[in-house]
């Protein structure tokens, strides 16, 4: 039975491996989340800060 | 998978001296009466692996209390208690020792290798000990706890953590969008544009057209082609006198817009504060909750200090007592986890506070920025400034309340005592409107000024709208992505959980059916429960007389519930144990009826032969049943005893008993010597009787074990007579033993006879001579009917050195 069960870690790895190709998902956001996960820095604070930076970048690009 | 080579307990729980068990990776069946200390074995394993023992934990037993409870009470301070486990892979062999260090008990492993540490950490995630009291714990647990426990076992707790973060970020973005109040702000600026241009401006093109319409009557030789050229147009039409007027108009528009926006927010602010106030008051109303939250904070801080290497010594950073750092971290993790539910209430409260604070801070900064405008310094605007400063105080009051530390348990001000004054806002709006009207009137009929001021102010408004729309779009885009990711994540998690539960349920059902064939229970299933797309719990459903029913304890007897508990445990073992290849099953069948006991034993032997099983029981009949079942299956069987000298110990093989007797004689130690020799004689006579087939009266199993030497000797003499064994039938040694004061009925052990050392020696000499008659030291075999010579009519040992005439 053990072999047939996907562990929590496998589920997470698969999800973050596929995240950049998921439809309707902003590629930059997907990339940010994937990197934070791979670097063991997937915390709400890190994500919030990264998203804020991304919004600033978009704002600066259009000014 | 790892199996056990040997186990030894020393000065631990009921064991005073040594409790050595050589297993050689084989399963073992232990029998022991209630109270002899069988659980010392399962306790030793539990402590070795998990560093705690469930039945020795709780409010009244601290960590040091656990070590005190583990250490045998009769041990002197200089002695160590320990459990030693040797494994199929020797790199994991280790002692775990309790010793007294600087006045307090401490424990440590002898194996300090990284391999061992990793092995121990991985093993802790596996479940391999089953006690009676844990049997139905999972089955009867609340639905939410079932989900949490199973999620933990299958490694879904990390998945849940990530899912919660995704959800939190989605919610944060949603709150951010709400707190920015984009729609209102954009509408306010649109109102300004309608006022300047007489229509809504929704695109650059519309803006350009409107500007061109305004400048047409001025007959200037320029036309606006793109929004970026707006400054050129403004520079062309402006006059030095206009600047101050337009600046003031812009100033009043900003104050007006801010006040209108704040007015729109007031209900939302009051609502959020009221919710925060209610949550806060609920927590501070429960003193125990506050204490637990404070404790959690302290422990988490301590954990942070250790994990971030702020404090690196092998000590407790608080009390500075010597402490194993790794062990301390593990203990902290466990305690923090236990306080999780209290923390989650505090986290919810903090989230409410942050939502409100975000809105207030945003508005506060806008107001502060407006107040830095030099136009506030003018006497004309003195009243406006005073009102703005009252608003600042209103905000400060909110912040003061929101910054109150919950640990101080101080009461908060009610929402009505904090509310921002609506009248002030209305007065500010009215004041700004009036001032703007005055400014416009002062330049009435000045077409150039009118065009200039309208274009300037509309440029500000339109730029603001564009900025707000960009910000709103970026936030919406992020929120949408996060929400999609969250729902995809939840979908995947639920799919995996459902597929796991279906396989898991099938296995449990199979094991349950094995123990309960042809009964009216079938199709046992674990069903996930959901609320608003969230998993909220698990329930166990099954078919009972062809109907789907739940929960099990509503329909099943105690024996059946126990079977379900066992099926759950064994299925978990198969599904999740990757490393530990053994099971400790401690006296679990007490409340099983006879049929279920038998089926459970059959299940273990038939379906779990790949595992090394340590099976402990105090049920004599079940022990006998399993004992028969495991014959020729390479199991070990042993009995556990207790006496005052040794505490819990394994029933000693006679060879060791012989060594002990010889040792006592050598040291002239009379203590217990008579009993030891009597026990050895009983053992010897049983061996002789078994080998030469001495007939004794039939008795049931336990009584059979209880036969005394007198009875066995009498039967032996009778058998020697019947078989015409002339060499032995009048043997003096046998006659002496029969007449010995040491031999008699069971009760005669308590007679008034007080033997001397000489008596003991003479008695032991006779026992040795008896052994010499029937036991051959050349081939190490007893004279036995197995080697009976039909031709010569002799009975002999295996090597033929010891022979006697024997008629069949």
B470–chain A nearest CA distance, Å: 7
**Which residue, B165, B161, B163, B151, is CA-closest to B528?**
B151
Residue B57: band (very low, low, confident or very high) from pLDDT cuts 50, 70, 90: low
- Provide mean pLDDT across the span A13-27: 92
pLDDT of residue B406: 83
Give residue B704's pLDDT: 56
Least reliable range by pLDDT among B150-164, B481-495, B642-656: B642-656
B507–A47 C-beta distance less than 8 A: no
Residue of B nearest to A14 (CA): B492
What residues form DSSP beta bridges with B615? B29, B585
The pLDDT > 90 percentage for chain B reads 27
Burial class (CB in 10 A: 0-12, 13-18, 19+), B82: buried
Of B154, B480, B488, the CB nearest to A8: B154
Euclidean distance between CA atoms B469 and B40, whole angstroms: 71
Contacts of B431 (CB under 8 A, 6+ apart): B383, B384, B387
What gap in Å lies between CA B120 and CA B131, rounded to an integer? 21
Contact call for A12 and B165, based on CB within 8 A: no
Range B322-339 average pLDDT:
80
Backbone phi and psi for residue B688, each to the nearest 5 degrees, phi listed first: -60, -50
- How far the first Cα of chain B sits from its last, in Å, is 53
Interface size A-B, in CB pairs within 8 Å, comes to: 87
State the Cα angle at B523 between B518 and B529, rounded to 5°.
150
Pair B642, B648: CB distance under 8 Å: yes
Give the model's pLDDT for residue B77: 81
- Please report residues of A whose CB lies closer than 8 A to that of B489: 15
Q: What span, in angstroms and rounded, lies between the C-alpha atoms of A55 and B478?
A: 9
Asked whether the whole model's pTM tops 0.80, one would answer no
Query: To probe the interface with B, which of A3, A9, A15, A39 has the most B CB atoms within 10 Å?
Result: A15
Q: What pLDDT, on the 0 to 100 scale, is given for residue B89? A: 92
**Contact yes or no for B481 and A29 at CB 8 A:** yes
- Are B642 and B633 within 8 A, CB to CB? no
Q: Is the bond leading into B697 cis (omega within 30 degrees of zero)?
A: no
Is the predicted pLDDT of residue A28 greater than 50, yes or no? yes
Mean pLDDT for chain B?
85
Reply yes or no on whether the pLDDT at B702 is more than 60. Answer: no
The number of residues making up chain A comes to 63
The pLDDT score that the predictor gives to residue B642 is: 80
pLDDT confidence of residue B399: 95
Q: Does B490 touch chain A (CB under 8 A)?
A: no
Residues of A in contact with B482 (CB under 8 A): 29
A49/chain B closest Cα distance in angstroms: 11
β-strand pairing of B582-586 with B612-617: parallel
Residues of A in contact with B575 (CB under 8 A): 1-2, 5
Q: What is the pLDDT of residue B749?
A: 47
Per-residue pLDDT, averaged over B355-380, amounts to 92
Rounded to an integer, the average pLDDT of B659-675 is 85
Which SS3 state, helix, strand or coil, does residue B601 take?
Answer: helix
Q: Minimum mean pLDDT among A17-21, A42-46, B508-512, B594-598: which range?
A: B594-598
Chain B's closest residue to A56, CA to CA, is B471
Instruction: For residues B638-647, give the mean pLDDT.
Output: 77
- For residue A22, which residues of chain B lie inside 8 Å, CB to CB? 484-485, 488
Beta-carbon separation of B571 and A1 below 8 A: yes
Helical (H) or strand (E) element with B782? strand B781-782
Q: How far is A21 from chain B (nearest CA, A)?
A: 11
3-state secondary structure of B394: helix
In this predicted model, what pLDDT tens digit does every residue of B390-409 receive, in sequence order? 999 999 999 999 999 887 77
pLDDT at B745 over 50: no
pLDDT band, very low/low/confident/very high, at A63 (cuts 50, 70, 90): low
Beta bridge pairs of residue B15: B647
Greater model confidence, B23 or B535? B23
Chain A residues with CB-CB distance to B504 below 8 A: 1
Report CA-CA distances (Å) from B776 to B32, B282, B723, B799.
Answer: 33, 84, 20, 8
Nearest to A5 among B154, B484, B489 (CB): B154
Q: Is the pLDDT of residue B389 over 90?
A: yes
For residue B10, the SS3 value is strand
Q: Name, of B99-113, B475-489, B491-505, B522-536, the range with top average pLDDT.
A: B475-489
| Cβ–Cβ under 8 Å, residues B743 and B713 | yes
């Amino acid at each position: 039975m053990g072999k047939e069960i996907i562990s929590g870690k496998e589920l997470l790895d698969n999800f973050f491996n596929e995240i950049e190709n998921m439809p309707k998902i902003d590629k930059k956001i997907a990339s940010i989340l994937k990197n934070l996960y791979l670097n063991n820095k997937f915390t709400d604070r890190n994500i919030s800060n990264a998203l804020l930076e991304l919004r600033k970048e978009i704002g600066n690009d259009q000014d | 998978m790892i199996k056990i080579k040997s186990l030894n307990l020393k000065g631990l729980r009921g064991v005073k001296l040594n409790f050595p068990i050589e297993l050689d990776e084989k399963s073992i069946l232990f029998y022991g009466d209630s109270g002899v200390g069988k659980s010392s074995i399962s306790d030793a394993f539990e402590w070795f692996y998990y560093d705690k023992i469930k039945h020795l934990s709780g409010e009244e037993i601290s960590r040091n209390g656990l070590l005190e409870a583990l250490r045998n009470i009769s041990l002197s301070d200089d002695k160590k208690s320990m459990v030693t486990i040797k494994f199929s892979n020797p790199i994991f062999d280790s002692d775990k020792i309790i010793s007294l260090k600087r006045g307090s008990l401490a424990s440590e492993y002898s194996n300090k290798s990284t391999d061992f540490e990793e092995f121990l950490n991985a093993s802790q995630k596996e479940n391999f000990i089953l006690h009676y009291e844990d049997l139905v714990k999972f089955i009867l647990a609340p639905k939410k706890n079932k989900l949490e426990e199973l999620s933990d076992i299958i490694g879904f707790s990390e998945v849940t953590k990530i899912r919660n973060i995704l959800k939190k970020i989605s919610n944060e973005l949603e709150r951010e969008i709400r707190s920015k109040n984009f729609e209102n702000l954009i509408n306010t600026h649109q109102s300004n544009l309608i006022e300047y241009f007489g229509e809504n401006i929704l695109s650059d093109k519309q803006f350009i057209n409107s500007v061109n319409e305004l400048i047409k009557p001025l007959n200037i030789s320029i036309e606006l082609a793109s929004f970026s050229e707006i400054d050129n147009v403004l520079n062309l039409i402006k006059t030095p006198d206009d600047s101050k007027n337009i600046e003031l108009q812009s100033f009043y528009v900003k104050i007006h817009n801010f006040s209108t926006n704040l007015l729109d927010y007031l209900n939302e602010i009051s609502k959020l504060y009221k919710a925060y106030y209610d949550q806060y008051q609920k927590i501070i109303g429960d003193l125990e909750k506050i204490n637990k939250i404070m404790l959690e904070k302290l422990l988490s801080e301590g954990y942070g200090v250790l994990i971030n290497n702020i404090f690196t010594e092998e000590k407790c950073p608080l009390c500075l007592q010597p402490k194993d750092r790794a062990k301390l971290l593990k203990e902290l993790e466990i305690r923090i986890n236990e306080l999780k539910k209290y923390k989650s209430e505090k986290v919810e409260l903090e989230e409410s506070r942050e939502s409100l604070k975000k809105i207030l801070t945003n508005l506060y900064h806008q107001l502060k920025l407006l107040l830095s405008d030099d136009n506030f310094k003018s006497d004309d605007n003195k009243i406006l400034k005073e009102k703005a400063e009252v608003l600042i105080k209103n905000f400060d009051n909110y912040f003061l309340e929101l910054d109150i530390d919950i640990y101080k348990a101080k009461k908060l001000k009610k929402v009505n005592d904090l509310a921002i004054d609506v009248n002030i806002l209305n007065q500010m709006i009215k004041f700004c409107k009036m001032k703007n009207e005055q400014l416009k009137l002062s330049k009435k009929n000045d077409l150039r000024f009118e065009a200039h001021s309208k274009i300037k102010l509309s440029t500000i408004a339109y730029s603001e709208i564009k900025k707000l729309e960009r910000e709103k779009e970026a936030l919406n885009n992020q929120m949408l992505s996060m929400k999609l990711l969250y729902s995809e994540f939840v979908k995947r998690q639920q799919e995996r959980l459902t597929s796991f539960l279906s396989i898991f349920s099938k296995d449990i059902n199979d094991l349950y059916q094995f123990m309960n064939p042809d009964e009216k229970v079938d199709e046992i299933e674990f069903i996930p429960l959901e609320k608003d797309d969230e998993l909220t719990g698990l329930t166990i459903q099954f078919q009972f007389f062809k109907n789907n029913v739940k929960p099990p304890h509503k329909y099943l007897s105690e024996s059946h519930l126990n079977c379900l508990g066992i099926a759950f445990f064994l299925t978990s073992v198969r599904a999740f144990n990757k490393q530990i290849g053994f099971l400790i099953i401690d006296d679990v069948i007490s409340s099983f009826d006879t049929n279920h006991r038998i089926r459970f034993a059959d299940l273990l032997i038939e379906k779990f032969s790949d595992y090394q099983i340590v099976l402990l029981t105090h049920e004599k009949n079940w022990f006998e049943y399993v004992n028969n079942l495991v014959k020729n299956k390479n199991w070990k069987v042993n009995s556990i005893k207790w006496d005052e000298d040794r505490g819990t110990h394994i029933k000693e093989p006679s060879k060791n008993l012989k060594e002990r007797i010889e040792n006592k004689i050598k040291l002239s130690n009379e203590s217990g010597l008579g009993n030891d020799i009597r026990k050895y004689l009983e053992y010897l006579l049983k061996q002789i009787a078994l080998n030469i087939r001495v007939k004794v009266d039939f008795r049931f199993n336990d009584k059979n074990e209880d036969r005394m030497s007198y009875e066995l000797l009498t039967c032996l003499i009778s058998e020697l007579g019947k078989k015409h064994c002339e060499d032995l039938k009048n043997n003096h040694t046998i006659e002496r033993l029969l007449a010995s004061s040491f031999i008699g009925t069971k009760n005669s052990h308590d007679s008034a006879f007080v033997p001397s050392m000489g008596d003991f020696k003479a008695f032991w000499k006779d026992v040795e001579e008896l052994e010499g008659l029937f036991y051959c030291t050349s081939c190490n075999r007893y004279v036995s009917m197995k080697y009976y010579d039909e031709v010569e009519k002799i009975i002999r040992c295996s090597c033929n050195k010891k022979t006697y005439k024997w008629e069949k």
